């Protein structure tokens, strides 16, 4: 698992190709029940692999064993928390403990995660995408603002595809911090600025996380300081 530290943020990525073996037993029953609803074995394994990856990631931040972590997902829309399998992920080292703030994104075989390792960040979001997935008819109308569509005029591929992917991942990361997800239309979010409606958004070079070219990634956070980045060994 390759990692980068940005101030109070830790960003990691892992390829979800390893056999699950018996590691699924580390997961909460509510996660296993959700996994059982997937009709495709490929989708089920990707879901389980992502949950195992984020649990290991949280355990590293909390200096705890993955099996010992307490699941604490929360959903702003249904106002639920505790034993649910969706919404904003959270894990704590003990029941009633302060959950570590984490976000996860999957694209193909890759899973990227961001976690707040200091007290100054209240919410985080990450999105990673294979840039080729933004090349479909109607993308601009659904995702981009009028100003963003105008800025793309005259830009040819492959640069246009890279710009679209960058805007998309920035919007997704922002909306995760906001807590609305895609219930808010991405075409209402101007995503080019460093600060979007009080939330800081930053592009990540996926290659620094060991991911291949062709991917795009962004992180967002609601508070805390972001100074200099450094690769972690």
List pLDDT tens digits, range 96-112: 567 788 899 999 889 99
* Domain-embedded: residue 233: no
Peptide bond preceding 80: is omega within 30 degrees of 0, i.e. cis?
no
Q: What pLDDT, on the 0 to 100 scale, is given for residue 144?
A: 94
* Domain-embedded: residue 192: yes
Q: What pLDDT, on the 0 to 100 scale, is given for residue 190?
A: 93
* Domain-embedded: residue 153: yes
Minimum mean pLDDT range among 26-40, 77-91, 219-233 = 219-233
Backbone phi, psi, residue 3, to 5°: -135, 150
Residue 46 has pLDDT above 90, yes or no: no
What is the separation of C-alpha 170 from the centre of its chain, rounded to a whole number of angstroms? 11
Q: What pLDDT, on the 0 to 100 scale, is given for residue 225?
A: 41
- Write down the residue that tokens 């239309």 correspond to: 185
Q: 233 falls in which pLDDT band (50, 70, 90)?
A: very low
Q: 191 falls in which pLDDT band (50, 70, 90)?
A: very high
* Domain-embedded: residue 231: no
Count structural domains, the chain: 1
Residue 132 has pLDDT above 60, yes or no: yes
Q: 78 falls in which pLDDT band (50, 70, 90)?
A: low
Q: What is the DSSP letter of 7?
A: T
How far CA 126 is from CA of 114, 149, 169, 175, 181, in Å, comes to 6, 23, 8, 9, 12
CATH number where 21 lies: 3.90.470.20
Q: How far apart are CA 79 and CA 65, in angstroms?
A: 29
Residue 227 has pLDDT above 80, yes or no: no
Q: Cα angle at 141 between 135 and 144, to 5 degrees? A: 80
* Domain-embedded: residue 228: no
* Domain-embedded: residue 230: no
Q: 121 falls in which pLDDT band (50, 70, 90)?
A: low
Domain range enclosing 146: 2-223
- Residue, of 229 and 155, whose pLDDT is higher: 155
Residue 168 has pLDDT above 90, yes or no: yes
- Residue, of 78 and 152, whose pLDDT is higher: 152
> Residue 8: how many CA atoms within 13 Å on its side-chain side?
19
What is the separation of C-alpha 131 from the centre of its chain, rounded to a whole number of angstroms? 16
Q: How far apart are CA 122 and CA 74, in angstroms?
A: 14
Reading the block at residue 225, the tokens are 């300081």
- pTM, two decimals, is 0.84
Output the CA torsion 73→77→80→82 (10° steps): 0
* Domain-embedded: residue 33: yes
* Domain-embedded: residue 232: no
Q: How far apart are CA 74 and CA 84, in angstroms?
A: 7
């Amino acid at each position: 698992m390759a990692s980068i530290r940005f101030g109070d943020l830790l960003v990691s990525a892992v390829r979800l190709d390893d056999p699950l073996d018996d590691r699924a037993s580390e997961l909460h029953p509510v996660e296993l029940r959700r996994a059982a609803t997937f009709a495709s074995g490929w989708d089920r394994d990707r879901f389980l692999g992502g949950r195992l990856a984020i649990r290991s990631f949280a355990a590293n931040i909390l200096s705890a064993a993955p099996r010992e972590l307490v699941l604490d997902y929360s959903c702003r829309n249904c106002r639920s928390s505790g034993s649910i399998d969706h919404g904003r992920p959270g894990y704590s080292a003990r029941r009633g403990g302060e959950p570590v703030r984490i976000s996860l994104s999957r694209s193909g075989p890759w899973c990227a995660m961001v976690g707040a390792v200091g007290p100054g960040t209240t919410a985080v979001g990450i999105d990673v995408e294979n840039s080729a997935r933004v090349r479909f008819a109607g993308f601009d109308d659904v995702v981009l603002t009028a100003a963003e569509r105008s800025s793309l005029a005259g830009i040819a591929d492959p640069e246009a595809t890279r710009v679209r992917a960058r805007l998309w991942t920035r919007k997704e990361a922002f909306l995760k911090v906001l807590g609305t997800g895609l219930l808010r239309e991405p075409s209402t979010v101007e995503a080019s600025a460093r600060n979007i409606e009080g939330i800081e958004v930053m592009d990540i070079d996926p290659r620094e996380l060991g991911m291949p070219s062709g991917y795009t990634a962004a992180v967002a956070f609601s508070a805390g300081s972001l100074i200099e980045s450094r690769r972690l060994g």
